[in-house]
Amino acid sequence: MTISFNRPTVTGNELRYIQEALDKFHVSGDGMFSKRCSAWLEEKVGVRRALLTHSCTAGLEMAALLCDLGPGDEVIMPSFTFVSTANAVVLRGAVPVFVDIRRDSLNIDESLIEAAITPRTKAIIVVHYAGVACEMDAVMEVARRHDLFVIEDAAQALRAFYRGRPLGSIGDFAALSFHETKNFISGEGGALLINDTAHVARAEILREKGTNRSSFLRGEVDKYTWVDVGSSFLPSDIIAAFLWAQFEQAESLQAGRRALWNRYHEGFESLEKAGAVRRPIIPDGCDHNAHLYYLLLPDLAARNRLIASLRDREIHAPFHYVPLHSAPAGLKFARTHGSLPVTDDVAARLLRMPLWHAMTKEPDQVIEAVHLLLR
């Protein structure tokens, strides 16, 4: 029996809510289900405004526009992340400046940020890898001192916390993902979270093709027109209906995921004691959301051997990011501050375990196979 790396989460109400959207004759953006999802996010994450987008990528692009990034501006971020974190900046003509990550959480090393700041630095983008929080107190402190925006790439981090505060509520902006590989899904999908009301009006305009259509629909202006730059960043209400079926069961989805994560963590404890792997480290103050479970193998060769051996048993366990600083577009569009030894090291040794909602006995089978292969 094949064990795939991911399988989309289904709660059972998705089709019913999509049918409801059809019955209401509203399937374009910002219908009933979009409003419900936004209100849920505003309450659960504790932000001023949550705007659904068609992806986290779109949310990051909106955040880059709202920070008024322009040619030559610099944005400090980790290299150990998905391409969208950097592309949002590059699309504005600005330059990603990569710094290294911490050995424990694999998140941006907050102690390296200040030295990478120049007169051109405008923002810091943090990525909460695996739904484990970055050291946000230190990040916010350095940002405040240098008057920089903070954007949280919270693609993996919905329903995770830092010192009791929901991730996505700490920076100026945050972007969430509802891609089918994330904890709560709508196939493709995302959201931009805004913590300062001063940015809300412009965000609504950017998202509605540069028009004041959102104000018009609320009856605040009597006609709508082209007022700014913008694009179409909003999803159909069919997508929001799917997403609502997931939000509605967020607590049980989270609990199930947490149990699977804990099963892996217990199952690999003896291998860690034997020095064969390193398990994830969750720093104090971080309440994670069990987004993904990874192991660090001793070296690249051991990691690649394990991938191949698991694949022979039809278990699909992939590696993760190819660091952006050494990717072709990274070399062309970005720059690196100092060297990134931890990023290079970890990227070569990391392996992700299959983890999805409907799993039952699969984690035990994966654990058993890994034990057997590393013995």
Residues contributing to the site for ligand PLP (CB under 6 A): 55-57, 81-82, 84-85, 127, 153, 155-156, 177, 179, 190
Distance of closest approach, residue 267 Cβ to ligand PLP, in angstroms: 25
Nearer to ligand PLP, 61 or 204 (CB): 61
Distance of closest approach, residue 173 Cβ to ligand PLP, in angstroms: 14
Nearer to ligand PLP, 156 or 211 (CB): 156
Distance of closest approach, residue 53 Cβ to ligand PLP, in angstroms: 8
CA torsion sign, 333 to 89 to 174 to 359?
A: negative
Q: Give the Cα separation of 354 and 357 in Å (integer).
A: 10
Nearer to ligand PLP, 308 or 322 (CB): 322
Distance of closest approach, residue 84 Cβ to ligand PLP, in angstroms: 4
Q: Give the Cα separation of 251 and 49 in Å (integer).
A: 22
Contact yes or no for 108/138 (Cβ under 8 A): no
Distance of closest approach, residue 121 Cβ to ligand PLP, in angstroms: 21
Nearer to ligand PLP, 56 or 116 (CB): 56
Query: Please, which residues have CB within 8 angstroms of residue 362's CB and are 6 or more apart in sequence?
Result: 3, 354
Which among 62, 67, 87, 66 has a CA at the least distance from the CA of 77? 87
Nearer to ligand PLP, 234 or 271 (CB): 234
Range list of β-strands (E), the chain: 49-53, 74-78, 95-99, 121-127, 149-153, 161-162, 165-166, 173-177, 190-194, 286-287, 294-296, 335-336, 350-352
Distance of closest approach, residue 106 Cβ to ligand PLP, in angstroms: 11
Distance of closest approach, residue 188 Cβ to ligand PLP, in angstroms: 6
Contact yes or no for 166/159 (Cβ under 8 A): yes
CA torsion sign, 168 to 171 to 80 to 73?
A: positive
Helix axes 237-247, 250-267, angle to 10 degrees: 60
Nearer to ligand PLP, 179 or 303 (CB): 179
Q: Give the Cα separation of 135 and 128 in Å (integer).
A: 9
Distance of closest approach, residue 81 Cβ to ligand PLP, in angstroms: 5
Contact yes or no for 27/236 (Cβ under 8 A): yes
For residue 269, give both structure tokens: 């404890």
Nearer to ligand PLP, 6 or 84 (CB): 84
Nearer to ligand PLP, 238 or 370 (CB): 238
